[in-house]
Structure 1
């Protein structure tokens, strides 16, 4: 039987950035090999730092997939845990150490008896930085193992242990990275008429882009446009010749995301034209599509969990957080849900520390669901 606590703590100490999860990959492969030893119905493949574990069913009619992400974040950990990160400037502040441990625990349970239908366990890299799910799909890593249904979870700090939250529609927003650069003409602060101030143009853009959500988006649907970074100029008495902005668009549907992207582009082009600026604009939705739960599969999952003793099922509203599982759910029907871990610190916080009591709860509850699905 897998020691869930020891496994989670070992993984917590070795967080790595996406597609550089080399120690994590090694740890997972060894653990998976130990869990599946002498199981002739198990096959393992790798793709870069990703791992696929396939359990061939006795009489398979479909393949049920379970996905976990494996990467960490570039955050300096500020917990007092005895097993805090050993990697400088790296932390599992999004709970992927918990996700991996749950997946290993599920594999440990479900590999004990050959299922009727096929089961696939995906240990996916680069959720945080490179849309690893999209990369693996486009590289053909799944091959004939692509599931007919896909499931996954994400820990949620503000929910209690025993809470499971999801819905029958969109759970997470799709995200689009935005990079903008205005290029004018630098000059002396005393002679503004001989220059073309890119900082002023960028400031006008920031002010005008606020109207996208307030005046172009149906308030019932909602969207987010945030620019968290702006860099212009070098010193106080030199007019800035360039200004660069870096931001994000978030929306609950692909249609709304495309609409907001169109409006952001129009405003940027309008500002550049009115100020006589050159414009470089990059809109990159990449693989972070909305996480849209399949209504029927979500209903089945929610009905199962609602009847399960010890589970408090919550039908929750969508969140504007992004998740690259949305890409895979646009290729394969499935469901994602929140798992309560009861900590006062939010995701991506340097003190985020999930309650480990959530691990045995999750493994017991979800393994029952997957066993019911796969037979």
Structure 2
């Protein structure tokens, strides 16, 4: 790449650089894919990232947020600090793709494409390192652990990863978008994620004599039914919300009323008012069981991450950059009730998350699926889109 040519034809130069990097980045992705690591276990992946940053002569620190890596590219002139974030962790899923580079670790798989993200950000680092003299400001390359448990961003931020950050850029591969296309949503694009554990304690006894016991299964069942009214009767219809009971456990055999039942649930909301109402309602319903069903309820309600809100101050220049690089390949989409802890960075600085099409021709893939096979061309295209966005934002 010839830096002096960038002002005249940045699209061509960035494209050529990304195309040249693509085989190497695909090889890195396949290596990471074959050796998936769960949340806060990403020591091997972090080692690959650190080695690659060292090869590119990009200063970096490891052990940020336990297993995260933070690289720094200093621009040629003073300006804002732009953080670009990729997540590194895998999922506890047994892979069924049959690919030659499939997971070698039983019960673990990169079924969400974080291997794609890691390779993409390494490519962005390589391109921006060459463009550094033209940048007004600095770029932080944030390789984050533990996104799937919604704890890695907070851990890195606690170790200083967000200090001095003026703007933040995130991205995610999207199998519902064909490779070569991009997407976005305005405002709150991903939901806040909260969760709760509820223990309903009764009094165990013989199934033949329920009057001498206090049945926690009946009480827990009533709670499951009642909690469905939180969305339908307590939250405004124009405020999307989802309340789901994901686990219920109690009892061991046919003829014994158990002592307790355990439930686990999740709450997703896009608006602060809905988030507050949902928590208050769930707590109230649990308290109500004690009065009406003679049980004791212990609830542990945790707010995990806020909604991810795309800020127009980052969104608009990013859209312009993608269109300048590729043409009209980016379209507005809808918010999702999925969650993403990049929201922790977005809560501290204006941010935007770009959706990068990864759908392969002839396939109908979905994230978190044992047979997920993204189109690897999304790596090179993501490098182009993110590099061009950084170049334009730090011009």
**TM-score, length-normalised on structure 2?**
0.90
Report the counterpart of residue 58 of structure 1 in structure 2.
76
Distance in 1 (alpha carbons) for counterparts of 2:322 and 2:272: 29
**CA contact under 8 A between 1:172 and 1:322: conserved in structure 2?**
yes
How well do the aligned residues superpose, as a CA RMSD in angstroms? 1.5
**CA contact under 8 A between 1:173 and 1:252: conserved in structure 2?**
yes
**CA contact under 8 A between 1:173 and 1:291: conserved in structure 2?**
yes
Distance in 1 (alpha carbons) for counterparts of 2:355 and 2:85: 14
- Structure 2 gaps of 5+ residues are 1-19
Partner secondary structure for residue 321 of structure 1: coil
Relative distance call for 1:113 and 1:309 in structure 2 (3 A) is closer
Post-superposition Cα deviations, 1:169-195, rounded to whole Å, max 9, x if no partner, equal 011111101111100100000111110
Distance in 2 (alpha carbons) for counterparts of 1:186 and 1:177: 28
Post-superposition Cα deviations, 1:200-219, rounded to whole Å, max 9, x if no partner, equal 00000001111111111111
Post-superposition Cα deviations, 1:339-365, rounded to whole Å, max 9, x if no partner, equal 111141211000011001111111122
Decide which of 287, 297, 301 is 2:318's aligned counterpart: 301
1:339 corresponds to 2:381: no
Deviation, structure 1 residue 304: 2.9
Partner secondary structure for residue 61 of structure 1: strand
Post-superposition Cα deviations, 1:129-187, rounded to whole Å, max 9, x if no partner, equal 151111121233444xx310000111111110122111220111111011111001000
Report the counterpart of residue 84 of structure 1 in structure 2.
102
Decide which of 182, 197, 207 is 2:225's aligned counterpart: 207
**CA contact under 8 A between 2:236 and 2:274: conserved in structure 1?**
no
1:192 corresponds to 2:207: no
Distance in 2 (alpha carbons) for counterparts of 1:251 and 1:130: 15
Report the counterpart of residue 263 of structure 1 in structure 2.
281
Aligned length: 368
1:354 corresponds to 2:374: yes
Decide which of 126, 130, 137 is 1:117's aligned counterpart: 137
**CA contact under 8 A between 1:153 and 1:338: conserved in structure 2?**
yes
Decide which of 249, 253, 258 is 1:240's aligned counterpart: 258
Report the counterpart of residue 249 of structure 2 in structure 1.
231
**CA contact under 8 A between 1:168 and 1:296: conserved in structure 2?**
no
**CA contact under 8 A between 1:168 and 1:299: conserved in structure 2?**
no
- Structure 1 gaps of 5+ residues are none
**CA contact under 8 A between 2:325 and 2:388: conserved in structure 1?**
no
Of 305-314 and 19-28, more deviation after overlay is shown by: 305-314
Of 93-102 and 158-167, more deviation after overlay is shown by: 158-167
Deviation, structure 1 residue 12: 0.7
**CA contact under 8 A between 1:173 and 1:250: conserved in structure 2?**
yes
1:8 corresponds to 2:26: no
Post-superposition Cα deviations, 1:36-67, rounded to whole Å, max 9, x if no partner, equal 2xx6xx44454121000011222222101100
1:131 corresponds to 2:184: no
Relative distance call for 1:130 and 1:293 in structure 2 (3 A) is closer
Distance in 2 (alpha carbons) for counterparts of 1:194 and 1:129: 42
**CA contact under 8 A between 2:97 and 2:373: conserved in structure 1?**
yes
**CA contact under 8 A between 2:317 and 2:393: conserved in structure 1?**
no
Post-superposition Cα deviations, 1:290-322, rounded to whole Å, max 9, x if no partner, equal 110112321222233234425511111100001
Deviation, structure 1 residue 251: 0.3
**CA contact under 8 A between 2:79 and 2:394: conserved in structure 1?**
no
Of 49-58 and 189-198, more deviation after overlay is shown by: 49-58
Distance in 2 (alpha carbons) for counterparts of 1:94 and 1:364: 21
Decide which of 215, 235, 240 is 1:217's aligned counterpart: 235
Distance in 2 (alpha carbons) for counterparts of 1:236 and 1:285: 37
Distance in 1 (alpha carbons) for counterparts of 2:369 and 2:238: 30
Partner secondary structure for residue 12 of structure 1: helix
Report the counterpart of residue 25 of structure 1 in structure 2.
46
Report the counterpart of residue 372 of structure 1 in structure 2.
392
Of 127-136 and 239-248, more deviation after overlay is shown by: 127-136
